[in-house]
Structure 1
Amino acid sequence: MPPLHPRKRQQGFGLVETLVGMVVGLVATIIIYQVISTYEGIKRSTTSGADTQQNGIFSLATMERDLRAAGWGIPTAAIMPCTEYFTYYSNGTASGPVPNFPGTPVRIADGGVAAGASDSITMLWGTSIRSNVRNMLLQNATINPPGTSAANLQPTSKVALSGVGGFVWLTDDDGRCTLTRITASDVNPANANSVVLSHAAATGTATQPTYNPSGTVMTDLGWPTSFTKNPRIYDLGTFTQRTYSVTGGSLVSQDFFSSMTQVQLANNVVSLKAMYGISDANSQVVTNWVRATGAWATPTLADARRIKAVRIAVVVRSPLKEKAEGDAQACLTTTAAPESWPDGPAIDLSNDADWRCYRYRAFETIVPLRNVLWANLS
């Protein structure tokens, strides 16, 4: 007969089994962590590459759009051969000639070869469809002081003149070209086909600069005060002078005939390089590429007519800073500076001690100055 209280067999994990299970769990955890870490690294690199692609394409497309507009709505050099340009601005705290005014559809400012140096590009265009039509004045122009009845402009025709707030070039056979903003347009009682255009001076602000100097300022700046040799104006409409440059690791633009505020367009842009495509005299075909140095830093009127295209490159940096691999003391993510284009301007990023810890990509293109070509500025 069986015992009344049989001994039951004990069940459960022993110490060895528990330790083996913990080891297996730790190994599985380490593998999962490594997989997740690798995935996150790939994800960050992919996202960083997408950001770089977006910043580069946007920067290039924005500048290309404005380069294609350059030269529209402004008189050609053959129609209005200016020997001197006179411009002015006042934003309430600063005043003087309009900074970087090119006088030509495009002007490149070469930044040099120092580490971190970048070029800048200024484009100029207007909105008038009659910019090359000379509008003779009914009287000699005396523009000092502006805004008075003696200084008001009386064109022979009011056809297609821009409204109040638009710009005109005032010039004569002496070749002095004065940029003037129209502040009022009234019926000319002496001539039904004409109007009286005022260009009064005012105090500018940061958001609404003024572009007509007072009589005293005109004297201080050496402006011409009268135009007596076939005085005439050329209508510009709304005028745009936009400069692109690299500042603080971003591509920025500044419009000198609007608010003059510097606007950030794209971040992680570390370099901008540009060159002129020039033709031989009396030709429309680009035969050489030159930097904006030496004679091409401030080209003569004859040389400016030879500029038919611009080649630009923007270098964009990935937002993700990579770590040094293994026991390396320095980053080796990038070992050589990016190239603008084959045989193009060198790019030196060594002003940043950590420049090798980032990935870079250069975006470059050639933009023909179609308004210059269409105007046949040979």
Structure 2
Amino acid sequence: MNASLLRRHRGFSLVELMVSVVIGLLALLFATRLIVSGEKNKDAAVGGSDSMQNGMLALFSLSSDATAAGWGLNDPMVAGCDTSFSDASGYALPAMPRAGASITPLAPVVIQSNGANPDLISFNSGTSQAGAGSIKLFADYTVGNTLTVDSKNPYGFNNGDVMVIAPLTPGSGKCTLFQLSGFGPPPNSTILVNSGGAYRFNAIAGLPNPYKQNLAYIYNLGSPTLMHFHTWTVSNGVLLLRATELAGAEAAGVSVTDNVVSIKAQYGFDARPPGPNPYDPTPGADGMQITAWSGTMIDADSDGVAGSPGDYQRIAAVRIAVVARSKNAEKPNSAGLCTATPVAPTVFASSAPAGVAAVPVQVNVAVAGDTVSWQCYRYRVFETIVQIRNAQWRP
């Protein structure tokens, strides 16, 4: 047997075997890295898609509320009025500061600004077909469940409708929200305010505040099952909605979408000098214009008080931002650090409309109780500006 044939019968040499093992390990390493890289790319793509869907849903929900805000609340007697409000189902108006005191204003939009943390944003609107239909109080009211009015059969006023009584001079007293519980017997022109049963907004029979004859008006906001008083918040990465017309969501709220880490809002004020019409303290006939953005109330009407009724009537628009994050966190690098998002996102950085200074806010996107660093997630910011058009159609 010759030498070459002998070598073939002996099989692979040790060197050849080691070379084969090394080649196999290299191939396995490259395949593993390829699979890991593919999984990372897939997670990033899926996470980006999740944040896109969640963010768009959240922004659409808030902007839809903002579009309808102010219907029925546009009269200067009502907009921004400190309002006595009670709901047996647990809904509450957000508290705001005014002249060192805490008030609950009835306004198209109310923002509790929390700095870098998520804001609390409330949008309010009635649903009465009469819009801002009202009747005058025709006798002094001090106590009791009967209000004397100047109309025997007020148009569009029905049993159970939600009412707001407001003093003729804005800021001269408190408003009261209540439910109409029927009409008094003829020939008197009276409406009743009874408690219990279907009248969830009547904590007591009657009103907690006095009102003077011919110095107060009663406005109809429509059916309580349709009235839109909505408050939006974010808790532990979940967008929550509290709503007066959504059963079970009045007090604690319901989840709308997850992986939303923050919502922010700013008022768009028209802070120009008042127009010539003494009954409408807002600027002139060219309509409302945004001249300043602020996450808190300012003295927009120059009456010396920030958050007065006139300031709420100067809100021309609201700027909304939603920050959503990817569903899955990315893995840290070899040093144990995440680099998916090295810097927290900033909202409201652009100047809009042109010439109006932006008021940017860097958002805290950390979720309480999350064991993963916020830097391991990717984020998307969604912004929009919504005109509060209903508030500008004043009687």
TM-score range, shorter chain: 0.7 to 0.9
Unaligned runs of 5+ in 1: 1-8
| Aligned equivalent of 2:84, options 83, 86, 93 | 86
The SS at the match of 1:89 is coil
Cα deviation, 1:47-97, whole Å, max 9, x if unaligned, reads: 1000000111111111111101001133411x5578642221234xx79x7
Equivalent residue, structure 1, for 2:3: none
Counterpart CA distance in 1 for 2:336 and 2:34 is: 26
Relative to 1, partners in 2 of residues 1:130 and 1:212: Cα closer, same or farther, differing over 3 Å? same
Unaligned runs of 5+ in 2: 1-5, 96-103, 275-282, 350-357
Cα deviation, 1:319-366, whole Å, max 9, x if unaligned, reads: 22112223x232122111111032433224375671211111211111
Q: Deviation at 1:34?
A: 3.1
Counterpart CA distance in 2 for 1:23 and 1:320 is: 35
Counterpart CA distance in 2 for 1:306 and 1:75 is: 11
Equivalent residue, structure 2, for 1:214: 204
In the TM superposition, what are the counterparts of 1:260-275 in structure 2 within 5 Å? 260=250, 261-275=252-266
| Aligned equivalent of 2:339, options 315, 332, 335 | 332
| Aligned equivalent of 1:110, options 98, 108, 113 | 113
Matched, 1:42 2:41: yes
Relative to 1, partners in 2 of residues 1:355 and 1:224: Cα closer, same or farther, differing over 3 Å? same
Matched-pair contact (CA < 8 Å) for 1:102–1:122: no
Counterpart CA distance in 2 for 1:106 and 1:127 is: 16
Counterpart CA distance in 2 for 1:201 and 1:334 is: 54
- Percent of paired sites with the same residue: 28
Matched, 1:344 2:363: no
Matched, 1:290 2:288: no
Q: Deviation at 1:190?
A: 2.7
Equivalent residue, structure 2, for 1:200: 194
Counterpart CA distance in 1 for 2:390 and 2:9 is: 88
Equivalent residue, structure 2, for 1:363: 382
Equivalent residue, structure 2, for 1:316: 324
Cα deviation, 1:287-317, whole Å, max 9, x if unaligned, reads: 1212215657961122222110111111111
Equivalent residue, structure 2, for 1:4: none
Q: Which moved more, 1:166-175 or 1:334-343?
A: 166-175
Cα deviation, 1:103-138, whole Å, max 9, x if unaligned, reads: 11111111124xxx122211110011323232235x
Counterpart CA distance in 1 for 2:389 and 2:187 is: 42
Equivalent residue, structure 2, for 1:129: 129
Counterpart CA distance in 1 for 2:232 and 2:81 is: 26
Matched, 1:233 2:218: yes
Equivalent residue, structure 1, for 2:176: 178
Counterpart CA distance in 1 for 2:269 and 2:10 is: 86
Equivalent residue, structure 2, for 1:248: 236
Relative to 1, partners in 2 of residues 1:256 and 1:157: Cα closer, same or farther, differing over 3 Å? same
Matched-pair contact (CA < 8 Å) for 2:139–2:149: no
Counterpart CA distance in 2 for 1:266 and 1:331 is: 25
RMSD between superposed Cα atoms in Å: 3.6
Counterpart CA distance in 2 for 1:57 and 1:359 is: 16
Relative to 1, partners in 2 of residues 1:292 and 1:362: Cα closer, same or farther, differing over 3 Å? same
Q: Which moved more, 1:11-20 or 1:64-73?
A: 11-20
Counterpart CA distance in 2 for 1:106 and 1:59 is: 17
Matched-pair contact (CA < 8 Å) for 2:234–2:240: yes
- Number of corresponding residues: 343
The one-letter code matched in structure 2 to 1:56 is G
Cα deviation, 1:193-252, whole Å, max 9, x if unaligned, reads: x7x64432127xxxx882102259x6xxxx225553355421110322111122111221
The one-letter code matched in structure 2 to 1:53 is M
The one-letter code matched in structure 2 to 1:254 is R
Equivalent residue, structure 2, for 1:3: none
Matched-pair contact (CA < 8 Å) for 2:43–2:328: yes
Matched-pair contact (CA < 8 Å) for 2:124–2:228: yes
